[in-house]
Amino acid sequence: MTSLSGLEEGLEVQGELLLQDSFLVWEPKSLIRKGRDRHLFLFELSLIFSKEIKDSSGRTKYLYKSRLRVTHTHTHTHTHTQDHLLKVRPAAVSL
């Protein structure tokens, strides 16, 4: 996990890395409703959003974009559609 840059806090304070994968992410407050490719890292304490980039030698690196504390989020899954959809929102936002 040394290929994640831009995170002010160290990764060691995020807890154990549980899952990681690439997702298409929409931000509801954005004026332009366009999905963005993001690589997400789910730690015990945080969900970290990053952008996947390639360095000059072609190696994959991740640039930190944002973070949600796991204890401060609501999650909701949609299973009635063919696509898998997971909504993650800050706890202060009502569903």
Instruction: Give me the domains of the chain, ranges plus CATH numbers.
Output: 4-90 (2.30.29.30)
pLDDT(51) > 60: yes
**Which of 18 and 95 is assigned the larger pLDDT?**
18
Mean per-residue pLDDT for 34-46?
89
The CA radius of gyration of the chain, in Å to the nearest whole number, is 14
User: Can you give the length of the chain in residues?
Assistant: 95
User: Residue range 40-65: average pLDDT?
Assistant: 92
Per-residue burial over 47-77, b = 16 or more CB atoms within 10 Å of its CB, e = otherwise: bbbbeeeeeeeeeeebebbebbebeebeeee
How large a percentage of the chain has pLDDT more than 70? 67
SS (H, E, C) 2-22: CCEECCCCCHHHHCCEEEEEE
